[in-house]
Amino acid sequence: MAPKSPACPVDVETQRAAWAGFTRVFLTAVVLLGLAIIGAVASLDPYGLRAGPGHPPGPIMDTNQRLSYPQIARGGPFDAAVFGTSTARLLDPVALDAAFDARFANLAVNAATPDEQIRLAELFLAHRPVKAVLFGLDTTWCAADPPARTANAFPDWLYEAGAPWGVLRQASLRSVTIAAQTGLARLGLARPRIRPDGYAVFTPPDALYDPVRARAHIRAGAPDPAAPADRPDAPMPALARLDALLRRVPAGALKLVAFMPVHAAAQGPPGTPAGRRETACKARVAEIGSRHGAVVVDFRMPSPVTTQDRNYWDALHYRLPVAARIVADLKAALGTGADDPDGIYRVLAHP
């Protein structure tokens, strides 16, 4: 039997060339796919980078307000806006439009810090003539050292005037998902998560209200009276920024500043360190408001609204009828300049 011939040696150069060709094709495909994704996201514009006075924002699909609201601040037919936290989110722009003859957007953000609220307000003011602003204040504005951010993502680049390089920065798995949902919404195959004016009812349906459960949430949300509190004369740096922000609002615009009506259990009781701090904060806000011709209204006080558990889901969040009453009371406070005869609010400053 003839001996077996040895196997042919592998052509190393041919193998290298094959791998080099495969690598080029693979990298080219990756680059093209990436560019296609960036192009698709840019075309669908899920975060409204192209929004402006002549280009309204598209469907609001991302429930993260810190990502969704900058496009409302840039575009849309609005000349007025609400800024604050979840305690101001239930103020319906439709009711505010009727009360104050303006086109409101509600840009109050859950758990927003003063810095986050200010960034959003600055963006709004930079993109349109403004007819009215409403700031709903909580005690974070009174803190001696308020946090700049929460644990929620806050993309600073979205709040820059022109959002430079935003097309590249928004390329992520989340933005691709939201872009797809935006495309479906434009085709009528999906519903926007938030109204074009920023309004959404985030509390449960009123038909599901359980007074026993609400009472438990209210008591659980009450602050510890033994917890340390800032001294009444301690700095309130956020209020200095509010002062500067009100200075930027056009002189003829309506300026409303309101301490929101959290449940009495969440308020600082009179005579306690927290109570004295709140009193000092309100006095400082009243001074700032007077300086800028603002109407300053205090709903954060024991009243027929804030002492009734049935008006609240928890210590901070009131029910929809209370929201409607706040709008009506703000209109009354503006018109009369006087405290509410039923003790619902006090007018701390009036032009």
- Give percent above pLDDT 90 in the chain: 64
Q: What is the mean pLDDT of the chain?
A: 90
pLDDT tens per residue across span 167-221: 677 777 788 888 889 988 888 899 999 999 999 999 999 999 999 999 999 999 8
Return d(Cα 255, Cα 264) in angstroms, integer.
26
What's this model's pTM, rounded to 2 decimal places? 0.89
Count of residues for the chain? 351
Helix axis angle, 273-291 to 237-248, nearest 10°? 20
pLDDT tens per residue across span 67-83: 999 999 998 899 999 99
Task: Tell me the CA distances in angstroms from 246 to 153, 249, 251, one per residue in order.
Answer: 27, 5, 9
Per-residue pLDDT, 343: 97
DSSP letter, residue 220: H
Strands annotated E in 172-307: 254-259, 295-298
Identify the bridge partners of residue 106 per DSSP, sorted by sequence position: 82
Three-state DSSP state, 260: coil
pLDDT tens per residue across span 212-256: 999 999 999 888 777 777 888 899 999 999 999 999 999 999 999
DSSP string, 312-323: BSSSS-B-HHHH
Residue 299, amino acid: F
pLDDT tens per residue across span 304-340: 999 999 999 999 999 999 999 999 999 999 999 999 9
Which two tokens mark 119? 């960034």
Q: What are the backbone dihedrals phi and psi of residue 37, each rounded to the nearest 5 degrees, phi first?
A: -65, -45
Strands annotated E in 195-290: 254-259
Per-residue pLDDT, 14: 80
Per-residue pLDDT, 342: 96
Per-residue pLDDT, 54: 73
State in Å, rounded, how far the first CA of the chain is from the last one. 115
Return d(Cα 10, Cα 297) in angstroms, integer.
86
